[in-house]
Amino acid sequence: MTTAVSDRQYPFERSCPFDPPKQYDALRHKEPFARVRLWDGSTPYLLTNHADIKASLSDPRFSCEPVREGFPHVFEGRAVADKADRSFLRLDNPEHDRLRRMVTKEFTVRRVEAIRPRIEETVEKLIDNFLKLPQGSDFVEHFSGPLPTEVITYLLGIPYDDHDFFHRATRVQFSAKSTPDEMRASLKELFAYLDALITEKERNPKDDVVSRLVHEQLLPGNIDRETLINVVRLLLSAGHQTTQNMTALGVLTLLQHPDQLALLRSNPELISNAVEELLRYSSVLHMGARRVALEDIEVNGHLVKKGEGIICSIPAANRDERLFPEPDALRIDRDAAGHVAFGFGIHQCLGQVLARMELQIVYARLFERIPTLRLAVPFEQLRFRHDMFVYGVHELPLAW
């Protein structure tokens, strides 16, 4: 018997911090296109099948533009941020490709490899500093937060000293508990900051991404100021929020799976595999990728009518046993290359090369330099980010 939509209030709750909600597995086997109910009473489809999700995310007949009628907004406050976002992340083609091409060259393998020494130096410095702190210090505050922030601010040309401000802003904008008014106020503050930054880059350009966007795209008239602010905001927030949470959650996951950590220590050549498996296993973009149908669309025998929304569950796709045998097991030697932790299709994460490099360097060096690393509090005391758009831990007290 099919469960009533009224009983499927989304997002679902987890019963285990490391596993997606149990409903995903049940739905994938019985109802891979299932109606769920959101806070506003709307009933989009929740997709839980890996193949269906890949097909939908690569289909141009599904729009990612939040201003369209029927687009599924998972939280009330988040709807404000979604609709205010005019970066390429929230645009369809051809405008998506036009804007994305302006920054693609900044995140190529070659460009990212060029800053590897700087990332390695930053990781070593942060490990040195962490070891000087008292036992039980918070890894999120002193390591996983500063690392991607230092990297992305260096690339963009944003003063690192302002990190408290934009960390606070992105916490508001990624929180499920933020009210619409709180979201509007935070967005206004961040937009004003980035507007002033762009003005400074107009006067005093440097060798950084924002300076190049200003002088190669804004001033020649290829992009307007509001859109540029949105693009820089996307690069800044995505550049530290996701990697920060994945770094800390990955460390915790390995600490809680000592057999896999031991395997990595004895086989350091598995670091690339380990990162892909941790990305698959954790799926920090746990609220899903959202779209709305521009016309009637059939996906694997399921009809989505024009104007209906879909939520493509990244955690569900990454636990699909048809692609990943024993999906709930962490196995760092498995081939997890088919995961969709970075999304899929034209909106796949622009910074994934950078994120992978940061994670590989951290997991390799951290456990090599601090072999006695361990949790400083009982696991049950940890607070997980169920209330945030990007999953992780709020704090991670560690000892050694």
What is the band of 273 on the pLDDT scale with cuts at 50, 70, 90? very high
pLDDT per residue as tens digits for the range 326-349: 999 999 999 999 999 999 999 999
pLDDT per residue as tens digits for the range 36-55: 999 999 999 999 999 999 99
| Residue-level length of the chain | 400
What is the band of 292 on the pLDDT scale with cuts at 50, 70, 90? very high
Instruction: Return d(Cα 254, Cα 274) in angstroms, integer.
Output: 10
Superfamily of domain 5-399: Cytochrome P450 (1.10.630.10)
Structure tokens at 33: 């296109």
Q: How high is the pLDDT of residue 117?
A: 97
